[in-house]
Amino acid sequence: MSKHNAEETNPCLREHELSFKCFDRHNYDKSKCFLEIENYKACKKFWGEVRASRRRQGIYPLLPPVEERATIKETFLKTGKIP
């Protein structure tokens, strides 16, 4: 799978890669990668809520295109609400 395809299906690809890089640096000691793990969990939770919101609203695809994701995150940071 190419990186672009992976990014389309996994909006947390960057966070995922950062957590694995941290694991590699620290011999898979999770206690040393707490921030990276928490950031990845927060990302997964956020995009899970976006999917659920879009499902309730009947918007498909459930995961927005890569081009729209920055706008969705920005809107959430400003309003605190999933658009």
Domain holding 12, by residue range, is 3-79
Q: One digit per residue, pLDDT tens: the chain, 83 residues?
A: 666 688 899 999 999 999 999 999 999 999 999 999 999 999 999 999 999 999 999 999 999 999 999 999 999 999 999 98
Q: Total domain count for the chain?
A: 1
Q: Buried b / exposed e across 23-53, counting CB within 10 Å, b at 16+?
A: beeeeeeeeebeebbebbeebeebbeebbee
The answer to whether residues 21 and 10 touch, using CB atoms and an 8 Å cutoff, is no
How confident is the model at residue 62, as a pLDDT?
96
